[in-house]
Amino acid sequence: MKTNPSNGYRNGTMYSSYTAASFARKYLLADSFRVNFLGAVTWAFEFEDQPWFEGFRDLATNGVDKPVLNVFRMFGMMKGKRVLVIGNQMYDLKTMVDSSVRRSYHDVGGLAAKDKKSATVMVWNYHDDDVSSPEIPVGITIEGLPAKKVTITHYRIDAGHSNSYEAWKKMGSPQNPTVEQIAALEAAGQLKMIGKPEKQKTSNGRLLLNFYLPGQGVSLLKMDW
């Protein structure tokens, strides 16, 4: 960041929301070419003995997890088979490939999976412009649930959740943090829930969920039954 301040995006939520949006499109690319998508490279590296949050393309800094790592934690919780997602503000694959996310509106998209006893939905709010933007209302309709009641756990990455970088800045951006500060940063770098898990009834296998998602935010909704 000392020589290229723009690389600071790799420390915070722009990198994490970009990763969610771009990795989800890899599945759609695989579908379009009819290939069996087994895995993808993060293009992240390890840098030893470097300043804290220096904007390197990595998943952690000095052993403290960055927000982007929590996206992969979310992906790791998505089990079973991928299911169809339709969104009215989700950029189509051709637009993403040709020009990325540069229109007047954000890419609010999703990726979903269903297992025998659970289902997961990841939702992101991303734009290529790294500027602050207001939260937007998100409504999700889930169909085909086999249970009359589910337990919903909501995980979030944003400025106030799962974000060691924002915690570090609030400390004054120390380059020699104390033992106590490091412990606090390590805790802030873990994937966090919004509220507590709650039970909701379904209606003929359908569940309606509503929440607000800030710009560069990523949510994972996990339903167990």
pLDDT in tens, 12-70: 999 999 999 999 999 999 999 999 999 888 889 999 999 999 999 999 999 999 999 99
Parse the chain into domains and list their residue ranges: 5-224
What confidence score (pLDDT) does residue 43 get?
A: 87
CATH topology of domain 5-224: Immunoglobulin-like (2.60.40)
Which residues, at least 6 apart from 93, have a Cβ–Cβ distance to it below 8 Å?
A: 25, 28, 29, 32
How do beta strands 118-126 and 198-201 pair?
unpaired
Instruction: Choose among 140, 100, 90: nearest CA to 120.
Output: 140
Mean pLDDT of 199-216: 97
- Helix, strand and coil content of the chain, in percent to the nearest 5, comes to 30, 30, 45
Residue 167 tokens, joined: 């915690």
The reported pTM is 0.96
Distances (CA, A) of 218 to 14, 45, 62, 194, 202: 10, 23, 24, 12, 24
Q: What is the pLDDT of residues 125-180, one digit of tens each?
A: 999 999 989 899 999 999 999 999 999 999 999 999 999 999 999 999 999 999 99
Contact criterion met (CB below 8 Å) for 111 and 185: no
Q: What is the pLDDT of residues 58-113, one digit of tens each?
A: 999 999 999 999 999 999 999 999 999 999 999 999 999 999 999 999 999 999 99
Whether the per-residue pLDDT at 183 is higher than 90: the answer is yes
The tokens describing 132, both together, are 């602050």
Distance, in Å, from the CA atom of 196 to the CA atom of 201, rounded to the nearest integer, reads 16
Q: What is the pLDDT of residue 142?
A: 97
The pLDDT confidence band at residue 187, using thresholds 50, 70 and 90, is: very high
